Amino acid sequence: MDMANVISVLVVLGLVWVVAFYQWSTVIWTTLIGVTLLAFTILGYLSPIALVILWVFYLAAALFANLHQLRRRYIVLPALKMLQKQLPAISSTESAAIEAGDTWWEKELFCGRPNWNKLFDIPRPTLSQEEEHFLNTHVEHLCSLINDWEIIFKERDLPKEIWDYLKKEKFFAMVIPKEYGGLGFSALAHSTVVTKIATRSISVAVTTMVPNSLGPGELLVRYGTDEQKNYYLPRLANGIDIPCFALTAPDAGSDAGAIPDTGIICRGQYDGKEIIGIRVSWDKRYITLAPVATLLGLAIHLYDPDHLLGKKTDIGITLCLIPTSHPGVEIGSRHYPMFNAFMNGPTRGKNVFIPMDWIIGGTSMAGQGWRMLMESLSIGRSISLPALSAACGKVAYRVTGAYSRVRKQFNTSIASFEGVEEALGYIAGYSYMLEACRIMTAGAVDQDINPSIVSAIAKYHMTEMCRHVVSKAMDIHAGQMVQVGPRNLFANAYLAVPISITVEGANILTRNLIIFGQGAIRCHPFILKEIELISSPDPNIEELDRMLMSHIGFYISNILRNIAYGITGGKFIFSSSKNKRIRKYKQQLTRMSAALALLADTSLILLGGSLKRRERLSARLGDIMSQLYLASTVLKYYYDHNKPSSDINLVCWSMQECLYKIQIACNELLNNFPYRWIGKFLRWIIFPLGTAYLSPRDQLHHSIVEQMLVPSELRDRITRYCYLNSNDNNLMTRLDKALIHIETIDPLQKKIRKAIQSGAIAHSLEFSECIHAAKQVGILSAEEACMLVEFEKLRSEIIKVNEFSFDFDAVIA
């Protein structure tokens, strides 16, 4: 009887666990558990104590779940009044930011139950034949025209030939539809064009990307009136107009909602007539292309004190288009962003009168500027800065890998030293992740998704990975890349990295406020709707009750799922992958997705509106979400390329790196959780067996570096769209040539070293003399000696640095 009692209790508890785990409906779980309890009661399998306890808990839960009217009257209504008092006010700018854009795969990750097949079923992003042709012809030719040393350190501007070519071939019109004379390219093509140019010159890439991201072109396509589109878009497409967009002001950088620049609706003279227009005053800085722009996009705060448009005085943030030839517009002076040569500078105007129809989208779009900016920024963040970051990864992977194989110290390739190998491993792993994230994120835009949260993740983490990659490459090349000159491929990228970190939402702001702050509300299955209901002047109690009950079920389910996953290590999570290594990582990502759902919900429930002021906690939750997304992009890339065996080690390294960073974020979050006992309790639930994830193992690190050091399909694929100059004087070309021959040359060099050690060749001879002596004594054939001589010339050219005349007027070497 005791055994029957224990088994019966376990059966009931197991049933409760199952229905809560899978969130079965109220009708199903109350019926199923009630019938089971009744059966055990009739059969006498339960002891009186167990019977009373189980029935009391069951009846309390069943009555709470099923007596809707009583619950709404005595629980939901009082709770509503309390929540209305505690819920922080959401400003119009915050509301616009929350509502801007779409949710996508990140919502699956946030909710704790990612359907991996859903990710892999997303069509693979591809370029059209027209886009491939443009890359292979026009972009290739553009890159051949570029001399980055001349552009940055001599001209400090793009030469006229390049400006003219960019305009003629419509590089500034990739986002403009064909019916207006533009190229009408996909987001992936836009990204890839910028990537390829950036492998040659950051300055030219930035000049190309800005008109195609946040600027008049994008804004006109999305919001412009037909009249504005028909006039301006063909001019932008043909290069007649050069656009810029002015957002940042001295006292309003990242806080674009606090724009101090104003527009006052009033009457004034325009074209000889009195009209209703706007008297605009502004002081903007850091505006790319402003010094040469002919068309100025401008963000202002619009007011209507005389109510010429209606009853409202404070209209809100508004976007305007102003020809820079218009009286009162000041442009021309320049900033000098980290020695880069792309045009960047201030623009100002004082009491400049413009017509109302210069508002982008016309008068009806007055006050809609913040939403327009948020939506357009997310597009730009999905394409431009990720493209620059991926380009740096490609150059570092191709150049630094080959250089490490060719460069020797102590008669050993420097790639063989573990310190160098560690740095190379991060270059290899991050370059793979950068390309995966670039393609998947741009692909989202091509599905007509406006990925506001994903774009923030990509912007922050890709620019940070780029910073890491370029720094590691500089460490390995050492003195060679410290000396600036035509031979230096990294100095300009190294200087440009802080610019990417700063623009389009500074990285500190993006990590601490945007990723989780926006993601939590948009991605959570219930919170946004709950906030709307609670904030409503006439809340729908029935709907609020339904949302709260669903939220409670969601939270309980996540607690139980985390307990199960923690105890089992996630080993029994279903995964359809045939590869055991990949299947394991998909299971662990699902486990951490469930952990994110629990941690986010707990933080939101306990901390409420104060969470947005606790930026470090918000940042760590955002880190978990971000690493889940980055890992997803790697898996997507791997599956889209038909799961090549050559990629397995890179995929595994990426998974381990992302999971390790998730572990760090969880540790820091739980160690610093405001309620310490809650932090300890959550740690026990999520990591009952202690630390679950470590950084990538040394052997795995070694394996992904080995793949960098030899010519292969993988190396060519990771560095695809890296501009490869056919000029034999180019460092990248020389390194590629040396890498092809190094396997043949190594045994010949070993022959000479052995001959020197044995005394067959004198120690005092220079290497060229050693080659001749080896040929003389028969150690090397004439052909082998010739190969070594040619390779030594090539190696010598590879390790050279530039020399200049004393006044720097001439390059000597």
Q: What is the pLDDT of residues 468-495, one digit of tens each?
A: 999 999 999 998 899 998 888 999 999 9
Residue 531 pLDDT: 80
Give Cβ neighbours of residue 587 (< 8 Å, ≥ 6 apart).
Answer: 570, 571, 573, 575
Kindly indicate the confidence band of residue 96, based on its pLDDT and cuts at 50, 70 and 90: low
Neighbours of 550 (CB within 10 A): 15
Active-site residue (options: 106, 131, 375, 504): 504
Running DSSP on this structure, what letter comes out for residue 513?
I
Which helix (H) or strand (E) segment holds residue 307: the answer is none
* Least reliable range by pLDDT among 377-381, 512-516, 701-705: 377-381
pLDDT tens digits along 267-319: 999 888 999 999 999 999 999 999 999 999 999 999 999 999 888 999 999 99
Mean pLDDT over the full length of the chain: 89
Residue 255 pLDDT: 62
Kindly indicate the confidence band of residue 1, based on its pLDDT and cuts at 50, 70 and 90: very low
Residue 165 pLDDT: 97
543 is catalytic: no
- In the chain, the percentage of residues whose pLDDT exceeds 70 is 96
The reported pTM is: 0.92
The mean pLDDT of 643-648, rounded to a whole number, is 95
Question: Over 70: is that where the pLDDT of 94 sits?
Answer: no
The mean pLDDT of 329-341, rounded to a whole number, is 93
343 SS3 class: coil
pLDDT tens digits along 293-307: 999 999 999 999 999
The mean pLDDT of 150-171, rounded to a whole number, is 94
Question: In this structure, are residues 103 and 453 in contact, taking their beta carbons and an 8 Å threshold?
Answer: yes
Kindly indicate the confidence band of residue 156, based on its pLDDT and cuts at 50, 70 and 90: very high
Angle of helix 202-209 relative to helix 491-502, nearest 10 degrees?
30
DSSP 118-142: HHHTSPPP---HHHHHHIIIIIHHH
Residue 214 pLDDT: 74
Distance CA 725, CA 730 (A): 7
Distance CA 668, CA 265 (A): 51
* Least reliable range by pLDDT among 405-419, 431-445, 700-714, 723-737: 723-737
- Token digits for 370? 């913040």
The mean pLDDT of 602-624, rounded to a whole number, is 86
Q: Where are the alpha helices (DSSP H) in 22-159?
A: 26-43, 48-66, 68-71, 77-86, 92-99, 105-111, 116-120, 129-134, 140-145, 148-149
Residue 100 pLDDT: 65
The mean pLDDT of 68-89, rounded to a whole number, is 76
Distance CA 710, CA 402 (A): 8
pLDDT tens digits along 246-257: 988 888 775 666
Kindly indicate the confidence band of residue 66, based on its pLDDT and cuts at 50, 70 and 90: confident
Distance CA 608, CA 604 (A): 5
Residue 547 pLDDT: 85
